[in-house]
Amino acid sequence: GDSVTQMEGPVTLSEEAFLTINCTYTATGYPSLFWYVQYPGEGLQLLLKATKADDKGSNKGFEATYRKETTSFHLEKGSVQVSDSAVYFCASEGDDYKLSFGAGTTVTVRA
């Protein structure tokens, strides 16, 4: 079945630092790819998505590009803020409409 592997955390950064979280997927066919975020005390929220190769998803300063050749969907942000502290999940969705999630990466941004 489909699976997602993402960079293990935790990751601790200073404000305005560059953030990257690696994510690779295995799938039959051409899945849609997602990044979800879980802020402290809140539920999972969709951060961004891409539905086909070379698509770039972006939101709140975060970006990720669907790379079919490397089966990757790495998340990046050029300048993080304290409010970006959260757990980030990479996920894929195949033709079966089920989301397959990575284990999550905890990001802490210090002022």
Partner 1 sequence: GAGVSQTPSNKVTEKGKYVELRCDPISGHTALYWYRQSLGQGPEFLIYFQGTGAADDSGLPNDRFFAVRPEGSVSTLKIQRTERGDSAVYLCASSAMSGFLAGTLGEQYFGPGTRLTVT
Quick one: which of 43, 69, 70, 111 contacts partner 1 (CB under 8 A)? 43
**How many residues are there in the chain?**
111
- Six-digit token string for 71: 């089966």
What is the smallest separation between the CB atom of 7 and partner 1, expressed in angstroms?
Answer: 13
Residue 72 backbone phi and psi in degrees, to 5: -130, 160
Closest of 88, 110, 111 to residue 101, by C-alpha: 88
Asked if 7 is part of the footprint of partner 1 (rule: CB under 8 A), the reply reads no
Asked if 101 is part of the footprint of partner 1 (rule: CB under 8 A), the reply reads: yes
Binding status of residue 91 toward partner 1 by CB under 8 A: yes
Q: Tell which one of 89, 92, 107, 109 touches partner 1 (CB under 8 A).
A: 89
Tell me how far, at minimum, the Cβ of 4 lies from partner 1, in Å.
Answer: 8
Identify the helix (H) or strand (E) that includes residue 58: strand 56-59
Window 51 to 80, contacts with partner 1 (CB under 8 A): none
User: Least Å distance between CB 71 and partner 1?
Assistant: 18
Nearest to 30 by CA among 106, 95, 76: 95
Query: Are 4 and 25 a contacting pair, CB within 8 Å?
Result: yes
List interacting residues with partner 1 (CB under 8 A). 4, 36, 42-46, 49, 89, 91, 95-104
